[in-house]
Amino acid sequence: MQPVIQHSWNISETEALRLQTELAAKVSLDDQLGEIALIAGVDVAYAKETDKIVAAVVILDAQTLEVVETSITEGKARFPYIPGLFSFRELPPLLSAFSQLQHTPDLIVCDGQGYAHPRRFGLACHLGIILDIPTIGCGKTRLLGQYQEPEKERGATAPLIDVGEVIGQVLRTQTDVKPIFVSSGHRISLATACEWILRLSPQYRLPETTRKADQLVNSLLKCTSASLSS
pLDDT at 126 over 50: yes
Q: Where are the beta strands (DSSP E) in 6-98?
A: 38-46, 52-61, 67-76
Which residues pair with residue 146 across a beta bridge? 161
The number of beta carbons lying within 10 Å of the beta carbon of residue 80 is 11
Across the chain, mean pLDDT equals: 94
Identify the pLDDT of residue 149: 96
Residues 6+ away with beta carbon under 8 Å from 201: 173, 174, 207, 208
Q: 57: helix, coil or strand?
A: strand
What's the CA gap between 125 and 113, in Å, rounded? 8
pLDDT at 225 over 80: no
Predicted confidence band of residue 223 (pLDDT cuts 50, 70, 90): low
What's the CA gap between 105 and 22, in Å, rounded? 26
pLDDT in tens, 199-209: 999 999 999 99
What's the CA gap between 137 and 74, in Å, rounded? 22
Predicted confidence band of residue 224 (pLDDT cuts 50, 70, 90): low
What's the CA gap between 157 and 12, in Å, rounded? 38
pLDDT in tens, 16-58: 999 999 999 999 999 999 999 999 999 999 877 677 899 999 9
- What is the reported pTM? 0.94
H/E segment holding residue 17: helix 13-24
Q: Where are the beta strands (DSSP E) in the chain?
A: 38-46, 52-61, 67-76, 107-110, 135-139, 157-162, 165-171, 180-186
Task: Kindly state the percentage of the chain with pLDDT values over 90.
Answer: 86
pLDDT in tens, 65-103: 999 999 999 888 889 989 999 999 999 999 999 999 999
Beta sheet of 180-186, edge-to-edge order: 67-76, 52-61, 38-46, 107-110, 135-139, 180-186, 165-171, 157-162
pLDDT in tens, 135-151: 999 999 999 999 999 99
Across 138-165, average pLDDT: 97
Query: Residues of 13-43 as b/e, b for ≥16 C-beta within 10 angstroms?
Result: eeebbebbeebbeebbbeeeeeeeebbbbbb
pLDDT in tens, 176-188: 999 999 999 999 9
Using CA atoms in the order 60, 56, 137, 122, what is the torsion angle rounded to 10 degrees?
A: -150
